[in-house]
Chains A and B, each alone.
Chain A
């Protein structure tokens, strides 16, 4: 069974640029959630995708957008990058069916630095 993978592991971008982060969900999972974790903070929920549809969104501006593909992998896109976007971006997959659907399994994250 393959776990959650994310790419790239590290990324440096300049303010105003755009970035795309990628996530492959765990085998059998149909739900992907994205989180932003600033230094010294807990993960903050960005949005969740279930079977290619957005299924919930946190308090993030529209320049944060996402996609989920038929194989349940996902992308997080951030436009017009700001310095405060520097953080660890975490992807979590869930939804193996039944009562286990609430368990989220996280990838290793993408460290984004905006200069």
Chain B
């Protein structure tokens, strides 16, 4: 099976909160990331969390990390139509190479 798993689709109304979930397998991961990919574009690093943290907030984004369950979530407050994109969770195992492993991505669709 995949190292990083995400649900494939999420649909929300504009103005609501979106929560995208991810599970990972490597308990030694030092960093966990959220990337955003808009159609036809590369990946944009949105935010990351260090493994010794439980939560990180950055403007409308809140990342929650449950190390016991190996569960990561991204909450987007006041979701806008411009947030429609594919969101990738990635884990970065311990080591100096910093080579993240990506999930398949969650396609977020925001309805007006």
Contact = CB atoms under 8 A, between A and B. Distances in A.
A48 B42 contact: no
B104 A101 contact: no
Q: In the complex, which range does the number of interface residues on chain B fall in?
A: 20 to 34
A101 B99 contact: no
Contacts of B88: 42-43
Nearest to B30: A102
A42 B97 contact: no
B102 A33 contact: no
Given A40-B104, A42-B88, A106 B44 contact: yes
A55 interface: yes
A41 B48 contact: no
A109 B100 CA distance: 17
B102 A42 contact: yes
A107 interface: yes
Interface in B64-112: 88, 90, 92, 97-105
Interface of B: 4, 30-31, 35, 40-45, 48, 88, 90, 92, 97-105
29 contacts: A4-B42, A6-B42, A33-B99, A41-B105, A42-B4, A42-B102, A42-B103, A42-B104, A43-B88, A44-B102, A45-B101, A48-B97, A56-B97, A90-B42, A90-B43, A92-B43, A102-B48, A102-B98, A104-B45, A104-B100, A105-B45, A106-B35, A106-B43, A106-B44, A107-B42, A108-B41, A108-B42, A109-B41, A109-B42
Given A41-B104, A45-B99, A92-B43, 17 more contacts: A31-B98, A33-B99, A42-B88, A42-B105, A48-B97, A56-B97, A56-B99, A90-B42, A90-B43, A101-B98, A104-B45, A104-B98, A105-B45, A106-B42, A106-B43, A106-B45, A108-B41
